[in-house]
């Protein structure tokens, strides 16, 4: 009589079962990765493209070198060291700080007041800044001396053929040693739905133009904003005193 031998395989010896275990392990790993990634992405999405990182980025534009904290740089692709054609920044006003969690409503445009300044550093492309262009260009494009605006400013209307649609020219009196403050703003009605409806450019450093934009509602604070922007440029361009 012949006896038959039986081979008892361990549980993991079954090919089908092994495959099942591998699938379960793989799903568990994927679930873990998704959980970790979800936490990271959820935080990133909540920032809306902003960053809390304050590490200094050294950016070379023309012959000038800027040192800017990453949380002041508006676009992620510009948050790097090296040569650039331009750099765009945004600042919380009046403290002139970059993005921080406590400012999230202001940076996302959902705050009760408009509190952001936007600015661009780039090479000078023209021979005169906005104040210098007033007498040579803008004054010939406006209709009359204008009406009284906030904090000593005058609001001048552009002539229809000037091409500046729904815009007004904002001008201060000239003071000794300083030219007039000159900015272009969208008119009051159009400005209501605009985050930064006034624009001004100034020359800073050796060869840079700084164009900054701010809400029309801040025109009453134009002197403080102008002083702060010039001071900001002086602080963040290396070699300036």
At residue 193, the pLDDT reads 87
Report the DSSP beta bridge partners of residue 20. none
At residue 167, the pLDDT reads 96
At residue 31, the pLDDT reads 43
At residue 46, the pLDDT reads 40
If you write DSSP's letter for every residue of the chain in order, what string do you get? -PPPP-----GGG-HHHHHHHHHHHHHHHHHHHHHHHHHHHHHHHHHTT------EEEEEETTEEEEEEGGGBSSGGG-SSEE-S-EEEEEETTTTB---GGGHHHHTT-SSS--EEEEEEEE--SSS-HHHHIIIIIHHHBSSS-EE-GGG-EEEEBPGGGS-TTEEEEEPPPBTTB---EEEEE-HHHHTT-S--EEEEEEETTTEEEEEEE-GGGGGGHHHHHHHHHHHHHHHBTT--
At residue 176, the pLDDT reads 60
Annotated domain spans of the chain = 11-47, 56-236
Return per-residue pLDDT of the chain as tens, 241 residues: 444 433 333 434 445 444 544 444 444 444 444 344 343 333 333 446 899 999 999 999 999 999 999 999 999 999 999 999 999 999 999 999 999 999 999 999 888 999 999 999 999 999 999 999 999 899 999 987 899 999 999 999 999 999 999 999 999 998 766 789 999 999 999 999 898 999 999 999 999 999 999 999 999 999 999 999 999 999 999 988 6
At residue 48, the pLDDT reads 61
């Amino acid at each position: 009589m012949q006896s038959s031998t039986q081979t008892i395989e361990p549980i993991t010896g079954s090919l089908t079962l092994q495959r099942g275990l591998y699938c379960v392990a793989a799903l568990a790993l994927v679930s873990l990765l998704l959980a970790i990634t979800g936490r990271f992405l959820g935080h990133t999405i909540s920032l809306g493209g902003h960053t809390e990182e304050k590490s200094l980025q050294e950016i070379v534009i023309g012959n000038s070198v800027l040192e800017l904290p990453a949380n002041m740089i508006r676009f992620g692709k510009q948050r790097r060291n090296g040569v650039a054609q331009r750099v765009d920044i945004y600042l919380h006003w009046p403290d002139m700080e970059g993005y921080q969690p406590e400012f999230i409503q202001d940076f996302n445009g959902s705050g009760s007041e408009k509190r952001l300044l936007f600015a661009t550093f780039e090479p000078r492309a023209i021979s005169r800044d906005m104040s210098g262009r007033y007498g040579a260009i803008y004054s010939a494009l406006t209709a009359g001396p204008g009406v009284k605006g906030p904090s000593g400013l005058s609001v001048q209307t552009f002539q229809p053929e000037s091409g500046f649609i729904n815009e007004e020219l904002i001008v201060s009196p000239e003071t000794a040693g300083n030219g007039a403050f000159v900015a272009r703003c969208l008119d009051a009605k159009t400005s209501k739905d605009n985050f930064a409806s006034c624009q001004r450019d100034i020359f800073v450093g050796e060869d840079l133009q700084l164009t900054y934009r701010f809400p029309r509602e801040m025109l009453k604070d134009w002197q403080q904003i102008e002083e702060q922007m010039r001071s900001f440029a002086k602080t963040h361009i290396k070699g300036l005193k």
